[in-house]
Amino acid sequence: MAGIEILFLDNHLLAANKPAGLVTQPSDVHADSLEGRAKAWLKEEFAKPGEVFLEAVHRIDRPVSGVVLFARTSKALSRLNASQRSKDCTKTYLAIVGGVPPRREGRLEDRLVHDSHRARVHPDGKPAQLDYHVLASQKGRSLLRIDLLTGRYHQIRVQFAHAGWPIVGDTTYGSRATLPEGAIALHHWKLRIPHPVGERETCHFVAPVPGTAPWTDFSRFM
């Protein structure tokens, strides 16, 4: 069975660190998925008979790595979805982009539309907002910390490409660089969200960044 990196597990939640190149959920095109691997791991680890309930609370794109949270019960899923709708959670990403933003920190605000398997900036689109902070710049690339304020399709990828700083490896949105396994230099680093059951404190999940280039080029800044 293919491996899976578990970040957190209890009776209600499972958080895992998704590698780039793997889809979050299975499809007709991609049979292997993080969800499938997690279900297989749970079934084997706890010798569970029959089907295993596990539903993704959110998804990240196939070429993106990082935290993915799953609900192990329908009650947890409903409450976690409600937390996301009420924006009672925070999602922090790391990205390596081509170019150097002129300011150390800022906010990107655009309106995005979703066409087939791409998104683009359009005045009739839905509002998209994110905050960024430049952690380091070298050799024409910059490491950014990103706080996602809305959750539009391909939002981070589109907004930084539109600003003139495409995510390294993201040839779909203008990067001239390519990375192995179809990866792009975008990583869902941290997720904070209230635990869905009881009086438990807010959960804080952190996914280690990939130990490969170009991440290793900026490792001392993370």
Active site residues: 61
Position 143, amino acid: L
- Dihedral-angle region of residue 9 (phi above 0 means left; psi in -120 to 50 means alpha; beta otherwise): beta
Query: Could you tell me where the beta strands, DSSP code E, fall in the chain?
Result: 5-9, 13-18, 55-56, 65-71, 90-98, 105-115, 118-121, 126-138, 141-148, 186-194, 202-206
The secondary structure of residue 48, as a DSSP letter, is: -
96-110 burial by CB neighbour count: b if 16+ within 10 A, else e? bbbeebeeeeeebeb
Comparing CA positions, the residue from 51, 56, 65, 19 lying closest to residue 35 is: 56
